[in-house]
Amino acid sequence: MKKVIVTLLVAMVTLMFTGAAISGVTSLRGDNEVSAPADKAPMRKQVITQGGVERSYKIQPPMIPHKIDKETINLKINTCLKCHSEKTFEEKKAPKAGDSHYIARDGKVLETISTRRYFCNQCHAPQLNANPIVENQFEGAK
Amino acid sequence: MNKGAKRGVMGLLIVGIVLGIILWGGFNTAMEATNNEQFCISCHEMEENVYQELQDTIHFTNRTGVRATCPDCHVPKEWVHKVIRKIQASNEIYHKLMGTIDTPEKFEEKRLELAQNVWKAMKDTDSRECRNCHNFDSMDFTRQESRSADSHDEAIEKGYTCIDCHKGIAHSLPEGYDPAEDLPGEG
């Protein structure tokens, strides 16, 4: 009998604590029901960084130091190439897409951007003036 | 001149003036009635394609809530140019009746040609319709991004026109147009 009571008590206490622990956790998407839409992202302007953004590590794709909200990248058109293509970068004084972007997957060197590098913002991101959501001690490679 | 003839001339003059006002007013009213956005998007070709694309752009949605409607960019403001454009529009009625672009697929297929027509028209008029609102003299380059200010400086110096660089700002760019091949001042 005593054993049963102790087991029940332990079970109760455990339930209380886990219950409290679960309700105390807030995920990054907030307290919303899973079926509800996520909180709206705060509206922030893309920022312009004069002189470009330093790389944080050696092979990091360079970040975009200007706004891209008026650019289009889709099946039909890529307006980034207006300045960053091999044909225009000199005239526009823009950095040319890296040589690696002109290599097809079989190693063949192409004259135009390889289709697998076509979607610029898959790797290159514009910058926002936002603080890190979680505090961290990351330091870029020097 | 006797009294009867005098009265006749006066009568004719008054009838003429009244008729003139009615006809002229009617003509202008009819022209203005076909010169607003509601009229433009009463055709599904415009409503389903270009009007939808416009809504995401700065000429429709922006910080201050000032917006441009279809005729602001596509119909000249000056009377003579406006009438010429209106006469050219008879071609658009023909293609409306023929159903040349009556599905999104057909529109997409024609988009490059249609866009090139508009670009050419804008280039030929030195982007007249843009300049109804946008004026180099009123631009404060110090309040522009450095990229913009530098390019505008160059544009003034070399005599570029708005559409040389600002293509696809109100509607989607067409497939087959290569932005890398389209530096201003060429072609």
pLDDT at site A37: 81
pLDDT at site A14: 72
Residue B81 labelled as part of a binding site = no
pLDDT at site B68: 95
Whether chain A has a CB inside 8 Å of the CB on B105: the answer is no
Residue type, B25: G
Between chains, do B180 and A85 touch, taking CB under 8 Å as contact?
yes
Domain annotation covers residue A35: no
At A115, which CATH number? 1.10.1130.10
Of the candidates B59, B173, B47, B181, the residue with the CA atom closest to the CA atom of residue B116: B173
> Shortest Cα distance from B176 to chain A (angstroms)?
7
The 3-state secondary structure of chain A reads CHHHHHHHHHHHHHHHHHHHHHHHCCECCECCCCCCCCCCCCCCCECCCCCCCCCCCCCCCCCECCCCCCCCECCCCECCHHHHCCCCHHHHCCCCCCHHHHECCCCCECCCCCHHHCCHHHCCCECECCCCCCCCCCCCCC
Sign of torsion, CA B144 B150 B152 B156?
positive
Domain annotation covers residue A87: yes
Number of domains into which chain B is organized: 1
Beta bridge partners of A64: A126
Q: How far are the Cα atoms of A100, A103, A129, B101 from residue A109, in angstroms, in the given order?
A: 9, 5, 38, 40
At B82, which CATH number? 1.10.3820
Question: What range does the domain containing B53 cover?
Answer: 15-178
Question: What range does the domain containing A81 cover?
Answer: 51-129
pLDDT at site A19: 56
Domain annotation covers residue A90: yes
Domain annotation covers residue B141: yes
Q: Write the residue in B58, B147, B183 that is nearest to A66 by C-beta.
A: B147
Domain annotation covers residue B7: no
Nearest-Cα residue of chain A relative to residue B154: A92
pLDDT in tens, chain A (142 residues): 678 877 777 777 776 666 555 556 677 667 778 788 877 777 788 888 888 888 888 889 999 999 998 899 998 899 999 999 999 999 888 999 999 999 999 999 999 999 999 999 999 999 988 888 888 888 887 6
pLDDT at site B156: 94
Number of domains into which chain A is organized: 1
**pLDDT tens-digit profile of A64-104?**
999 998 899 998 899 999 999 999 999 888 999 999 999 99
DSSP E strand stretches across chain B: none
B168 DSSP 8-state letter: S
Mutate which of A79, A84, A102, A120 to test chain B, going by most B C-beta atoms within 10 A?
A79
Blockwise average pLDDT, block size 10, chain B, 187 residues: 85 95 93 92 94 94 93 94 94 94 94 96 95 94 90 94 94 92 74
ipTM reported for the complex, 2 dp: 0.76
